Amino acid sequence: MGGERPDPEPDGDGDQPTTGFGRRERRISLHFHGRPADGRGRLSARRHDIGRRSPERDGVQRDRGTPPSSSRDAARRSLKISPTQSDFLNLSRWVAAWLVVAEHARSLVFMDYGHLAAPDLLTNAFYFFTGFGHEAVVIFFVISGFLVGGKAWALSAQGRFSWRRYLADRTSRLYAVLLAALVLGAGLDAVGLHFFNRYGLYDMSHEGAVAVVTRSVRESLTWKTFLANGLFLQTILAPPLGSNGPLWSLAYEWWYYIMFPAAASLIFRQGKAAVAAGLLLTLFCLLFLPQEILRLFGVWLLGVVASVWQKRVPPWWLAGFVLVLTLVFVRAEWIRIPMGWEYALGAAFMLALVSLAGRETRLPGADLSARLADFSYSVYLTHFPVLMVSVSAAFTLMGYGIKEPFGWQGIIFYVTLFAGAISAAWAISRGTEAKTNILRMKLYKWIKVLK
């Protein structure tokens, strides 16, 4: 979904959506519907927003993380990201995006875990560590709330929030990759459906279950679905386009982008017209949006809390331990709480972000993380149609590549497939995600944000 980052815009608030998504087999059916199959919900994602350059290099101030003394002080502080926080955000964005690809690729190439006869230690480890895709969406959403929501809160508190500029930032970030991803995904699905459908992934004619494919791709390759996805109405009025199930989280994130500043306008009350508009927009979202989108809004809000808090509490080592422990407990499904495991993980990641406030230490590999985060959004939006057509072509031409038993031949194929999806996303990003700021400046001029 993946990752977020502030852009080098003049006093802007551009951050990109997160997006990653996945889950172990018993939850993977979520990918295509945007609704929970097991009652626990889906999140993304981008921006989450799922990745670009490091935040402190893009016009976001750094700070030492002392406690704010007022709401306006808190708002000013929420604009500031420490070097350590920036590196941690970059690392989280690309790792989360790659985890999404890892789970989706594994779910296509190998048998579902429940169908394995006697998995050994290596097999168990492989399935465990390639099963964090859904957890990645939680992280994407918290990052999105931290950057997008935190900046919106800060500007609203200072009386400087502008819907015109905000929407220009959001749409330029999202559409820079989304339109290309929709066209590419539909094209690859059409090729796969007509030329590489021997296994039957594209029309559900295969025998047995394929966890990540839960509906016919043929039925959702329509202009109506294309338009709905382009307007962020997937999971609301239409399914995700074709095989690109991960698009679900983009709709979630878009509506969080709308709901939060609308609700913030009711708090800061910058004129009667703004309050009235914010109230109407908030009511519209509460009445129009599906319950699952509203339920997971709180996960996104955890990022806003982290952005405003900035107290460097708890210590970073304790927060890191809690985050790792929570990830393990969630992955092993040892956490059962009424509000959902997403909130437990979101809170743990929020604490990790807060614990790094004001820290100047650069993380190892910071420059590499920045480059990898640079195209994490493209990874999220393009990977699944690429994976789908690749395994379908391999099976059609060679009789191999889908639902294979776990073994070294499959691992080699899996690694090749994974690397191909990441490489394709990087190539696509050079003409899309890398051009986001150019698109934004053109949009600024068109709607007269810059005079």
The mean pLDDT value for 256-281 works out to 90
Predicted confidence band of residue 427 (pLDDT cuts 50, 70, 90): very high
For the range 182-186, what are the long-range contacts, defined as Cβ-Cβ under 8 Å and sequence gap of 24 or more?
Answer: 182/226, 182/229, 182/230, 182/241, 182/244, 184/382, 184/385, 184/428, 185/241, 185/242, 185/243, 185/244, 185/382, 185/384, 185/385, 186/221, 186/226, 186/241, 186/242
Residues 298, 344: contact at Cβ < 8 Å? no
| Cα–Cα distance for residue pair 140/48, rounded to 1 Å | 5
Residue 451 pLDDT level (bands cut at 50, 70, 90) = low
CB 172 within 8 A of CB 15: no
Mapping DSSP onto H, E and C, the string for 322-387 reads: HHHHHHHHHHCCCCCCCCCHHHHHHHHHHHHHHHCCCCCCCCCCHHHHHHHHCCHHHHHHHHHHHH
| Stretch 404-416: mean pLDDT | 96
Distances from the Cα of 345 to the Cαs of 25, 196, 198, 331, in angstroms? 20, 39, 40, 10
Residue 42 has pLDDT above 60, yes or no: no
What are the b/e assignments for 308-336, b being 16+ CB within 10 Å? bbbebeeebeebbebbeebbeebbeeebe
Provide the pLDDT confidence category of residue 214 given band limits of 50, 70 and 90: confident
As a whole-number percent, the residues of the chain with pLDDT over 90 amount to 69
Angle (CA) 180 413 90, round 5°:
50
What pLDDT sits at residue 25?
36
Give tens-digit pLDDT for 1-33.
Answer: 544 554 433 333 444 444 433 333 333 333 333
First to last CA, the chain: 33
pLDDT of residue 373: 97
What secondary structure letter does DSSP report for 289? S
State which amino acid sits at residue 50: I
The token pair at 118 is 């006697």
Each residue's pLDDT tens digit, 127-159: 999 999 999 999 999 999 999 999 999 999 998
**What integer is the mean pLDDT of 253-262?**
97
Calculate what percentage of the chain has a pLDDT beyond 70: 80
On average, the pLDDT of the chain sits at: 84
Is residue 258 within 8 Å of residue 149, measured between CB atoms?
no
Q: What is d(CA 63, CA 81) in angstroms, rounded to the nearest whole number?
A: 7
pLDDT at 294 over 50: yes
Q: Average pLDDT for residues 373-383, to the nearest whole number?
A: 97
Predicted confidence band of residue 80 (pLDDT cuts 50, 70, 90): confident
pLDDT higher than threshold 70 for residue 55: no
Average pLDDT estimate for 294-316 = 92
What is the predicted pLDDT for the residue at 209?
A: 62
Measured at the CA of 356, the angle between CA 354 and CA 357, to 5 degrees, comes to 70
Per-residue pLDDT tens for 308-324?
987 778 899 999 999 99
CA distance 312 to 304: 15
Q: Is the pLDDT of residue 371 over 50?
A: yes
